[in-house]
Structure 1
Amino acid sequence: MTKLYIEQILKMRMAVYQAGIKVGIWKDINLLGASDMMNYIFTKSGQIAYYNLIVEYMRKEHDVITGGSYFLYKMPVQIEKEIMDFLKNGSIDFTSLIQDPEEYLQSMDTIVTDHCFTTINIGSFTLNEIDSILRLCASHYRYSFQYGVKSYPYFD
């Protein structure tokens, strides 16, 4: 997987997390001191620990998606491994990837789609479709945030 794809996934994950906090869909774990605590406990890998905390928190928030389905915060094992390897290289500060989450989601929301008030299947995961999958995610999460519903996208 390319560096660009990894950065796109990280940006979308952070944008969705931050935008959801802003509209009150989920809580900001940083208000509990999560980032500072991870940096204190894991002095050399605090950022990775904080990232993992966010991902696990978001997986819990998406508990309506069950079974073998994938979604923005639970991708195939090989993809998750490549993201983690990328973060371990320390070549990016994932917390500063997104300055304005709403603006980023709006810029990615370019695919016309039908929305619903529940989870929605947006297709199958393939590497060459990452951009489309992320754009569909942006569309559904924006809808979810605008209407206060758990309309979370998932894929096979």
Structure 2
Amino acid sequence: MTQQNIKDILRMRMSVYKAGIKAGFWSDIDKAGASDMMNYLFPRSGQMAYYNLILEFMRKEHNMFSGGVYSLFKMPVQAEKEVLDYLKKENIDRTFLADDEDDYLKSMDTIVTNHGLLPVNIGMFSPNEIDTILRLCASHYRYSFQNNVKSFPFFD
């Protein structure tokens, strides 16, 4: 994957997390002081710890609806390794990643697709198709949030 792919994955993950909070799909772990706690416990790597906390929280939320399949928050091992390696090397401000989550999701929602009331299989994961996967994710998450249905995308 390219660095841009990784940045796009991170931004989509944070945008979906924030938009889902606004839509009432899950709670905001920041309200429980998670970010401050991670910075206190891990002064040198608080952002990374906070990101991992969000990732695990979102995996749990998604496993409730679509079992153990791959999703935006649980990609194949090699992809997750590349994302974590990138985060270890770069100093990413998580607030920048989702400062305009609604606009970002809207801008990425460019693929016409069928929506449903249940989790939706959007195909097979391919590192060469990250942009398409993220655009499909944006479309399905926006539909879910706007229509109050948990029709989350997943892939093989």
| Cα distance in 2, alignment partners of residues 49 and 138 from structure 1 | 25
SS at match of 2:136: helix
Cα offset, 1:109, TM superposition: 0.1
Whether 1:66 and 2:72 are equivalent positions in the alignment is: no
Give 1:92 deviation, angstroms.
2.1
1:123: which partner in 2? 123
C-alpha deviation, 1:66, in angstroms: 1.3
Determine the C-alpha separation between the residues in 2 that align with 1:91 and 1:48: 9
Moved more, 89-98 or 54-63: 89-98
Where 1:74 maps in the other structure, the secondary structure is: coil
Q: Where do 1:29-108 residues align within 5 Å?
A: 29-63=29-63, 64-67=65-68, 69-108=69-108
TM-score (norm 2): 0.97
Cα shift at 1:95: 2.8
CA displacement at 1:101 relative to structure 2: 0.6
Q: Within 1, Cα distance between the matches of 2:151 and 2:28?
A: 20
Deviations 1:25-79 (A, max 9, x none): 1100000000000000011110000000000000111121113x21000001111
Structure 2: runs of 5 or more not aligned: none
Output the CA distance in 2 between the equivalents of 1:44 and 1:51: 14
Whole-angstrom CA distance in 2 between matches of 1:97 and 1:15: 7
Give the CA RMSD over aligned residues: 0.9
Q: The residue matched to 2:117 in structure 1 has which SS? A: coil
1:18 aligned partner = 18
Q: Quote the Cα distance in structure 1 between the aligned partners of 2:24 and 2:62.
A: 15
Aligned residues: 155
User: Structure 1 unaligned runs (5+)?
Assistant: none
Mapped to 2, the partners of 1:5 and 1:92 lie a distance apart of 15
Q: TM-score, normalised by structure 1?
A: 0.97
Moved over 3 A (4+): none
| 57-66 or 70-79, which deviates more | 57-66
**Equivalent residue letter for 1:6:** I
Please give the secondary structure, in 2, of the residue aligned with 1:56.
Answer: helix
Higher helix share: 2
Instruction: Tell me which amino acid in the other structure corresponds to 1:77.
Output: V
Using the aligned pairs only, state the percent identity: 64
- Tell me, in whole angstroms, the C-alpha distance in 1 between the residues paired with 2:95 and 2:2: 20
